[in-house]
Amino acid sequence: MGNDDHRRRKTPCGFCMAVFKWIPVLFITAVIAWSYYAYVVELCIRNSENRIGMIFMLLFYHLFLTLFMWSYWRTIMTSVGRIPDQWRIPDEEVSRLFRADSPDTQKRILNNFARDLPVTNRTMNGSVRFCEKCKIIKPDRAHHCSVCSCCVLKMDHHCPWVNNCVNFYNYKYFVLFLGYALVYCLYVAFTSLHDFVEFWKVGAGQLNASGMGRFHILFLFFIAIMFAISLVSLFGYHIYLVLVNRTTLESFRAPIFRVGGPDKNGYNLGRYANFCEVFGDDWQYWFLPVFSSFGDGKTFPIRHMEEDTESLLGYHSDTRIELEEDFLPEPRFQDSIP
């Protein structure tokens, strides 16, 4: 988190906002806890007559639930990471930068720092990207998150359901979370389908479950199907993004490269290579929420790597302060707009 975020949390309003951000996570947790009771107690223990079948149902249920919750927990608790100090401009130079009376002066100040950094991304006006809030040169694919109040490495999007930014360090966990959540919902729906049909076929009074238990099973099926429908499109979309090596932000606004200009497929190395960049090349870790992604989150292989060797090494950078923030705030330097 950034310094501004820490300062806001010290105020009563900031503390209330920090607590408010956890409401979606608490909601998901409450739904999972209720579904556990409805499935394990009402559907299996109280309603099942086939004990062997019940044991197998509970065995697979707890397997899927464990993988689901493990992935969810890692997505929530994984830090967005910290951009190294060499990307940060000293306060004295930042003051000079903000007092600069011309774009050329700004360019010279920033060039002293960006020329030795491996950056290939540019703004629409061809300048190296700079974050006014964090006072840093942005690494490739990094963006400033207004919720986290810091620049995030390979930022995909900020997800309120995990109260965290989906980024380089937890993107694999997030995709696994979506996948296992979908499997969990489909498994619950499939194994509760028989009781759901019997509820309407023979009437609620003739089911083994009694009282509110019958309605727990009924709503369990409905909610599992409802969540599965929403998850299948979201999971499918992120699998597509993995295979084309693109973030959600990049799918809406193509990254601009020093060589080649805007290119949504600039990081596309082929489906298998793209998959390995997120999940690693060891199949034993593909389906486990443990970190196995390639890289350091600051530099990434690109399709025109040979053409842009100089920019990867940071030489001859055409540097100017970035006027376009990630969420398009009002620019500070009006006189530098072309």
Do the Cβ atoms of 217 and 199 come closer than 8 Å? yes
Residue 231 CA: distances (Å) to CA of 175, 179, 183, 234, 313: 11, 8, 10, 5, 41
From the list 150, 151, 159, 165, the catalytic residue is: 159
Distance CA 5, CA 109 (A): 27
Q: Could you tell me if residue 156 is left (phi over 0), alpha (psi between -120 and 50 degrees) or otherwise beta?
A: alpha
Residue 59: phi, psi to the nearest 5?
-60, -50
Instruction: Decide: helix, strand or coil at residue 302.
Output: coil
Distance CA 88, CA 130 (A): 10
Residue 153 CA: distances (Å) to CA of 11, 247, 278: 28, 11, 14
- What single DSSP character describes residue 39? I
Instruction: Decide: helix, strand or coil at residue 73.
Output: helix
H or E element that contains 157: strand 157-159
What is the number of H-type helices and E-type strands within the chain?
11, 9
Instruction: Decide: helix, strand or coil at residue 318.
Output: coil
Q: How many CB atoms lie within 10 A of CB 76?
A: 19
As given in the structure block, the two tokens for residue 86 are 């060499």
- What single DSSP character describes residue 44? I
Active site residue 159: yes
Do the Cβ atoms of 216 and 37 come closer than 8 Å? yes
Beta bridge partners of 131: 136
Distance CA 33, CA 278 (A): 30
- Catalytic residue IDs: 159
